[in-house]
Amino acid sequence: MGLLKTLNKIRGGWPGGWQAHARGSAGDRPPPFVQPTDPDDRRSLIPPLGLTEYWYPALPSKDIGRKKPVGLRMLGKDLVFFRDKAGKVQALWDYCPHRGAYLSWGDCFWKGYVSCPYHGATFDGNGECVEFITEGPDSKMVGRLKARKFPTRTLKGIVFVWMGEGEPVPIQEDVPPELFERDCIVLPAWRYWHCNWMVALENAYDAHVGFYVHRDSFTWLRKKHGGVARTPIGARPKILNNRVVVPIRSASQYYAKDGELPYQMYYPRVGGYWPKHRWRLLWTWITEPMDARIQRRPRFESPVEWENGQRLPSVVRNNHWNHMYTRWVIPVEEGLTRVLYLHSARPTSRLAGVYERVQFKLVHNWVHHFNFSDQDYDAMSSVRYQYPEYLSSTDTCTAAFRRLVTEHARGIKRDQPVAVPQTTTAEQRIIETDQALGVEPYAGFAGNARDGAGADAGPTGNGADSAGADAAPTANGADGAAAPDHASEVAGVDRRG
């Protein structure tokens, strides 16, 4: 029985207590994903395993050798990757059409072919069965057996896969343009989040960036206001080509007094200030001017559709002036998402390129894609997606992207059995909040948004979750609409600092 096991039995569960299963058997693990079923909830129309009719990044090409195939799950499908006779990476459904075994558990006995581990059915890069080892050279399965092929393309060392049922669209429609540039450096980082892909994607452009979730990240410890300015008025969505939601922040001066935002604000209903302390002012007077020097460098230019915003199928883009930030969330299972970060830069010399790679490896990757993004994950991983939401004006871009998915994504079923109303209850609450704030609600919630509607988006040099520059230089209103000075209405706002 073992001494330790015996002693544990004698202990009998002592000393007990209530904490061990305070949250049930799940403990601190993220809750399982459950899709909403309410016909009044637009999220009920979003495929929990993602949008299939798109190109997605799969894995680094360097991790695919010549002797062993590699298995990977994407959008709930199992794929097998191997190299063909020309050395190019190919992908098949990880399913032997003979008896259903995983091809990825087999071998590449001959250069350019993958063999099933069960009976030796051997396939080329097009999925054609070219040999059947256990039946010998005269096997009649040859030429009759075929595995499903998934089109692939390798760019900047990353293998992309067309996950759709139909013919692939030109890959340039779905992949950032800098990946086709010879001299552009694109540095990847991969990780996993235990949540649904939409939960991971919706973690952008809402109020969590307002001096809260990321306030103590290494990036925003260097900024006086610890993130995007606090405001009750959400960014206005600008829809580009029915592919991208660009957030237009035009109310960042909502609480400003004489053109200056307060450092601390008084929250009268709890009788306290936020932030609670003023210690970051000890160094931000040095770090903010240092960070501002980034704009002396050449700006990373990109087509407007690829500048900033949430893009179909599952991409977040932010132009950080001298480099481009991309977060690509790839559904694995309903409750698991693979996240690819891309750091793109155009160094002006070979030495600058070496510096870019070294600083990414030693500093930038950890600062932005782990330290910063872990705070995102910690905040959102407990989201229960199946329950009703009470949305605010600051959730406008999130709700707008959900409409973009359900109305314009390729392959989305528009003849759904669930008939969602033109304006859902959650969207109506956003409208009512905007009306209470005295700003014009987003027209898209009434089903009549124009493609490209909204103010022009501008570049930003802020953190990973910051959005386009303020659309209009007016006092407070959304989309350039004038609004009264709300700062004087906030009881006890601390103007110091």
pLDDT tens figures, 389-425? 999 999 999 999 999 999 999 988 765 656 788 999 9
* pLDDT attached to residue 185: 96
* pLDDT attached to residue 55: 98
* pLDDT attached to residue 403: 95
Tell me the domain boundaries of the chain.
61-163, 177-489
Tell me the C-alpha distance between 87 and 159, whole Å: 13
* pLDDT attached to residue 11: 83
* pLDDT attached to residue 209: 83
* pLDDT attached to residue 175: 97
Residue 186 reports pLDDT greater than 50: yes
Buried b (16+ CB within 10 A) or exposed e, 52-76: bbbbbbbbebeebeeeebbebebbe
Residue 74 reports pLDDT greater than 80: yes
What values do phi and psi take at 272, rounded to 5?
A: -150, 170
Q: 372: number of CA atoms within 13 Å, CB side?
A: 25
pLDDT band at 494 (very low <50, low <70, confident <90, very high): very low
Average pLDDT, the chain: 87
Compute the average pLDDT of residues 242-260.
92
Residue 495 reports pLDDT greater than 50: no
* pLDDT attached to residue 496: 36
Which CATH number is correct for 177-489, 3.40.50, 3.90.380, 3.20.20, 3.30.310?
3.90.380
Residue 139 reports pLDDT greater than 70: yes
* pLDDT attached to residue 426: 94
Q: Per-residue DSSP letters for 396-446?
A: HHHHHHHHHHHHHSTT--SS-SS---SS-HHHHHHHHHHHHHTSPPPGGGG
Residue 146 reports pLDDT greater than 50: yes
Tell me the C-alpha distance between 88 and 78, whole Å: 20
Compute the average pLDDT of residues 244-263.
92
- Lowest mean pLDDT segment, chosen from 10-19, 30-39, 57-66: 10-19
Residue 323 reports pLDDT greater than 80: yes
Among candidate residues 106, 95, 53, the one with its CA nearest the CA of residue 73: 95
Stated as kind and residue range, the H or E segment containing 150 is strand 149-150
Among candidate residues 139, 191, 189, the one with its CA nearest the CA of residue 377: 191
* pLDDT attached to residue 449: 47
- Lowest mean pLDDT segment, chosen from 22-31, 116-125, 263-272: 22-31
Residue 100 reports pLDDT greater than 50: yes
Distances (CA, A) of 252 to 43, 357, 398, 467, 484: 29, 34, 18, 12, 14
**Helix crossing, 396-408 with 425-437: angle to 10°?**
140
Burial grade of 20 (CB within 10 A; 0-12, 13-18, 19 or more): exposed
Give Cα 443 distance to the centre of its chain. Answer: 25
pLDDT band at 462 (very low <50, low <70, confident <90, very high): very low
CB 470 within 8 A of CB 249: yes
Among candidate residues 89, 105, 33, 93, the one with its CA nearest the CA of residue 57: 89
The fold adopted by the segment(s) 61-163 is Rieske Iron-sulfur Protein (2.102.10)
Residue 472 reports pLDDT greater than 60: no
Residue 470 reports pLDDT greater than 60: no
pLDDT band at 482 (very low <50, low <70, confident <90, very high): very low
CB 431 within 8 A of CB 400: no
Choose the most confident range, by mean pLDDT, from 60-69, 295-304, 467-476: 60-69
* pLDDT attached to residue 477: 33
* pLDDT attached to residue 16: 82
pLDDT band at 225 (very low <50, low <70, confident <90, very high): confident
More confident residue, 207 or 485: 207
